[in-house]
């Protein structure tokens, strides 16, 4: 059984227990859902139908691409259904011999007017559209990476670490003098090493712009790594999975306030890492970091971290909000990224990707605060 089949089987079992006959997933512009890639390998632009009986139908926009990348029990081009999702749903129900009145679940991002159209045109089925149904179950399943995903991440992290070392050498030597130079270097070098590109738009903020959590614009022609604090946040996408790291480049002399920010950030990162273990509350880890900053009379204005995978932000959430009920489990891959930001002194952040194993945290990436 392939990894894709094993992932789909977990959802088939859930569907049977919940009495759901068929589930539809969508990955088109405006309704992106990388769950289809997770369950079939199809990069994008497709519908996926799963039947509780253990069968799958992929409906790709680009059938030629699906022939190369996708694995499903049946593949029928979207054009065969007049590129209409409701026609495809009815076609899938017919293929799977789903009886009228059966429960069929559609994407929770479907608009209310879109839902009414499903009711009107496919009302012989019990159409479900809910937040914590099958799509929520897939979100939970994806939070724990299987062995194949962990292997992909170790390779992606190795490439990321190679670029981190190159960036340190070139930036400190003055060979990447602007934010644009840094961002383009990452884009070019990652593709040379087999990556699909960056996992998200690179954020390169020189000392004049590092006060922003996510700088805007993402990068400019301004100097990078001049005197003060500069932030570089980037990720590499390898076989669909993205890393996510942040380096802080510091060029002295620094003020006492800047040195304090750096020391607190490193202390907070070390504290968080020391608490990572099987079953720990993600909220408790985040609150411990908030305490570190609080004792230094500082406050971190964002979450401690987040899961990563086929998306740059996935479950679990590492934040101190009361609604965060995630517990960390072996197989989860997530970031730890404490940071501080000041409109006068600039910002600093330290972010690495962590795989939780049965024996504890494995730090996959080697991001760091670089002083020169």
Residue by residue, pLDDT tens for the chain (372 residues) are 899 999 999 999 999 999 999 999 999 998 999 999 999 999 999 999 999 999 999 999 999 999 999 999 999 999 999 999 999 999 999 999 999 999 999 999 999 999 999 999 999 999 999 988 999 999 999 999 999 999 999 999 999 999 999 999 999 999 999 999 999 999 999 999 999 999 999 999 999 999 999 999 999 999 999 999 999 999 999 999 999 999 999 999 999 999 999 999 999 999 999 999 999 999 999 999 999 999 999 999 999 999 999 999 999 999 999 999 999 999 999 999 999 999 999 999 999 999 999 999 999 999 999 999
Cα–Cα separations (whole angstroms), residue 352 to 126, 161, 237, 321, 349:
45, 10, 15, 22, 10
3-state SS, 345-365, equals CEEEECEEEEEEECCEEEECC
Q: What pTM does this model have?
A: 0.95
| pLDDT at 275 (0 to 100) | 98
- Contacts of residue 116, defined as CB under 8 A and 6 or more positions apart, other chains included, come to none
Distance CA 140, CA 8 (A): 13
- Contacts of residue 67, defined as CB under 8 A and 6 or more positions apart, other chains included, come to 75
The domains located in the chain, with CATH, are 3-142 (3.40.350.10), 144-371 (3.90.230.10)
The one-character DSSP state at 332 is B
Note whether 309 and 333 are within 8 A (CB).
yes
Distance CA 99, CA 105 (A): 14
Q: What is the DSSP string of 158-182?
A: HHHHHHHHHHHHHHHTTSS-BHHHH
| pLDDT at 154 (0 to 100) | 98
Cα–Cα separations (whole angstroms), residue 87 to 44, 140, 241, 275, 324:
20, 29, 32, 51, 39
Distance CA 30, CA 301 (A): 29
- Contacts of residue 221, defined as CB under 8 A and 6 or more positions apart, other chains included, come to 178, 179, 180
Secondary structure class of 92 (helix, strand, coil):
helix
| pLDDT at 72 (0 to 100) | 98
* 241-242 and 236-238 beta bridge pairing: antiparallel
Can you state the percent helix, strand and coil of the chain, rounding each to 5? 35, 25, 40
| pLDDT at 1 (0 to 100) | 83
Note whether 69 and 38 are within 8 A (CB).
no
């Amino acid at each position: 059984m392939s990894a894709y089949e094993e992932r789909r089987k977990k959802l088939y079992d859930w569907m049977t227990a919940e009495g759901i006959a068929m589930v539809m997933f969508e990955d088109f512009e405006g309704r992106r859902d990388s769950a289809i890639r997770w369950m079939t390998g199809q990069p994008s632009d497709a519908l996926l139908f799963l039947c509780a009986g253990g069968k799958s139908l992929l409906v790709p926009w680009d059938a030629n691409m699906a022939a190369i990348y996708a694995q499903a029990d049946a593949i029928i081009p979207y054009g065969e259904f007049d590129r209409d999702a409701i026609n495809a749903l009815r076609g899938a129900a017919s293929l799977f011999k789903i009886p009228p009145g059966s429960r069929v679940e559609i994407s929770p991002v479907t608009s209310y007017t879109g839902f009414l159209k499903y009711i009107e045109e496919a009302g012989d089925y019990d159409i479900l559209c809910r937040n914590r149904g099958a799509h929520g179950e897939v979100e939970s399943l994806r939070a724990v990476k299987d062995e194949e995903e962990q292997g992909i991440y170790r390779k992606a992290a190795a490439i990321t670490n190679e670029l981190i070392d190159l960036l340190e050498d070139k930036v400190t030597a003055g060979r990447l003098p602007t934010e644009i130079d840094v961002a383009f270097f990452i884009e070019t070098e990652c593709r040379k090493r087999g990556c699909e590109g960056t996992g998200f738009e690179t954020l390169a903020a020189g000392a004049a712009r590092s006060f922003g959590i996510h700088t805007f614009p993402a990068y400019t022609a301004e100097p990078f790594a001049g005197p003060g604090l500069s932030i570089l946040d980037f990720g590499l996408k390898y076989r669909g999975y993205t890393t996510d790291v942040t380096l802080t480049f510091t060029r002295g002399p620094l003020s006492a306030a800047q040195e304090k920010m750096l020391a607190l950030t490193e202390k907070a990162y070390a504290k968080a890492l020391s608490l990572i273990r099987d079953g720990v509350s993600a909220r408790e880890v985040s609150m411990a970091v908030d305490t570190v900053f609080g004792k230094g009379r500082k406050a971190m204005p964002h979450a401690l971290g987040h899961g990563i995978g086929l998306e740059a932000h996935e479950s679990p959430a590492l934040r101190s909000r009361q609604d965060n009920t995630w517990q960390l489990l072996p197989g989860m891959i997530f970031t730890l990224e404490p940071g501080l930001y000041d409109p006068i002194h600039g910002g600093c952040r330290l972010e690495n990707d962590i795989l939780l194993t049965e024996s504890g945290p494995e730090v996959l990436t080697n991001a760091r605060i670089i002083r020169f």
